[in-house]
Amino acid sequence: MKLLRVADVAKLGHERKPEFNVPWRPALMKLRTYASNAARKTKLVEPCMLLAIVDRETGGRNVYQYGMPHGPGCGVGYTQITSGVDWSDPDHPKYPGYGDLFDPQVNFDVCAIEFLEPLLEAFPDNHLAAFAAYNLGLGGVQEEIARGESPDAETTGGDYGHAVFSDWINFTAASLGVAVDWSSWKA
């Protein structure tokens, strides 16, 4: 198996946008078609990125955010969409222009098109910051960077961006059939 540096795996992922193929993650494998379909509707989002977010957010379960009352601020679906949700029917929260967020394809499309793509555009050379901003918001991460802090300084667990970044690289490598050399990577 070919061993590639993190940057080389990221580059190959951008070039090929491989379909998620990590059989030892069965809950995520069931969602790979939704991730691939959503990624094809964007320029920058890759299926493995979307499933890295799902892995961190819900582990592959289509849920409301645990412990939150159903309504504004509550995360919805596999990707835990919170911002811009129409809560007029709390049992079927919708995203304007897309539909019911419990529909897996709608959930992945909203994540890819409305959130992740703009964040990748905002941080074109910093995937870790883009992933952290998915959790904290664009403004929050911009403020952290302006203060000289890690983009993860105020994310959930203080490691959201790192966790999603690591999963993205590892999922991409597995899906491409290569191994990752993390020894020279620095955040």
Distance (Å, whole) CA 120 – CA 130? 5
Kindly give, in sequence order, each residue whose CB lies less than 8 Å from that of residue 30, ignoring residues fewer than 6 positions away.
60
Distance (Å, whole) CA 118 – CA 177? 29
CATH of the domain at 95: 1.10.530.10
pLDDT tier at 1 (50, 70, 90 boundaries)?
A: confident
Supply the pLDDT for residue 170: 98
Q: Report pLDDT digits (tens) over 31-77.
A: 999 999 999 999 999 999 999 999 999 999 999 998 888 999 999 99
pTM over 0.85: yes
Domain annotation covers residue 151: yes
Domain annotation covers residue 187: no
Q: Are 47 and 34 contacting, i.e. CB atoms less than 8 angstroms apart?
A: no
Q: How many CB atoms are located within 10 Å of the residue 178 CB? A: 16
Kindly give, in sequence order, each residue whose CB lies less than 8 Å from that of residue 38, ignoring residues fewer than 6 positions away.
45, 47, 50, 105, 108, 109, 111, 112, 113
Structure tokens at 84: 């811009």
Q: Report pLDDT digits (tens) over 65-114.
A: 988 889 999 999 999 999 999 999 998 999 999 999 999 999 999 999 99
Range of the domain at 115: 3-181
Say how many domains are in the chain.
1
Please name the helix (run of DSSP H) or strand (run of DSSP E) that holds residue 181, with its range, or none.
strand 179-181
